[in-house]
Structure 1
Amino acid sequence: MEGESYKTRKVITIGIVSELTGLSERRIRYYEERKLITPERSEKGNRKYSFSDIEQLMDIANKREEGVPTQEIRQDILKEKKKKEEENERDIRKKMLRGQINAQFGLRDK
C-alpha cells in the first residue's frame, strides 16, 4: 500500500458510503451491477470503497438525476479510463526518453 493515496484506498464499507452519499445500499449495488463502480471485496466478501469511488458515485447519481442512461455513463467512464491510461503511457515514455538522453550525455535528473 506504499505510495497509495488515501483517496484510492478501498477501506470504506457500503453502509458508510450510503450514509455519506445519501444513496441506498441497493442503489449502490445496482451501480455495481451496471459496471459503473468496482468495489474491492474483503476476505469475508464485504464491499470496500475509496473516497474516489464515493466521488464517482456522486457523479453517477447526478448524471442519473439529469436523465443520463447508465449505458452512456459506463461509456464515459471507459473513455476517461482509457484517456488516463494513455496519458500515463505517454508520461512513462517521456521519462524513459529523458533517461536515455541523460544517460547518453552524462546528465542527471533533478
Structure 2
Amino acid sequence: MSTYKEKKVITIGIVSELTGLSERRIRYYEERKLIFPDRSKGGTRKYSFTDIEKLMNIANHMEDGLQTYEIRKIQEKEEKEVRDQMIRGQLNAHFNMRK
C-alpha cells in the first residue's frame, strides 16, 4: 500500500511550477534514467511527491557539477542501502534478532 507521497498523480506542468525546473529539463532527467514517471492512458506523465523530492536532489547534484551518470550511481547506491536495511529489518523481525 503506497502513501500519498508515492502516488503518481501530479502532471509535469505542476511539477515544473513546484520545482522551478523546466518541463524540458524534467523530461531530460527521465531520458537519462534518473526519474521514472507513470503514464496515463493518454500518455501524460504522472509524478509523485517522492519524485518531486528526487528531482530537487538531482537538480542540486547538477548544480554541484555532477554528471547524470554520477547521479545515477548515487541513486543506485542509496536504493541498495534502503533495500539492505529493509531486508535486515525483515530478517531481524522474522528471527527475533537484535543488534
Please indicate the TM-score interval, normalised by the length of the shorter structure.
over 0.9
What stretches of structure 1 of length at least 5 have no aligned partner? 99-110
Question: What residue is the counterpart of 1:32 in the other structure?
Answer: 30
> How many aligned residue pairs are there?
96
Task: Tell me, yes or no, if structure 1 residue 48 matches structure 2 residue 46.
Answer: yes
- Output one character per residue of 1:33-89: Cα deviation in whole Å (capped at 9) or x when no partner: 001111111122211111111011011111111111111000000111111111111
State the Cα distance separating 1:13 from its structure 2 match: 0.5
State the TM-score, normalized to the length of structure 1: 0.83
State the Cα distance separating 1:4 from its structure 2 match: 1.7
Counterpart pick for 2:78 among 68, 77, 80: 80
CA distance in 2 between counterparts of 1:87 and 1:57 reads 23
What stretches of structure 2 of length at least 5 have no aligned partner? none
Aligned letter for 2:23? E
Computed over aligned residues only, the root mean square deviation of the Cα atoms, in angstroms, reads 0.9
Counterpart pick for 2:56 among 55, 58, 61: 58
Aligned letter for 1:82? K
Does the residue aligned with 1:67 lie in a helix, a strand or coil?
coil
**Greater than 2 Å deviation, 4+ residue runs:** none
Aligned letter for 2:68? T
State the TM-score, normalized to the length of structure 2: 0.92
Counterpart pick for 2:66 among 65, 68, 74: 68
CA distance in 2 between counterparts of 1:43 and 1:54 reads 22
Question: What residue is the counterpart of 1:94 in the other structure?
Answer: 92
Does the residue aligned with 2:4 lie in a helix, a strand or coil?
coil
State the Cα distance separating 1:94 from its structure 2 match: 1.1
CA distance in 2 between counterparts of 1:45 and 1:86 reads 34
- Sequence identity of aligned pairs in percent? 59
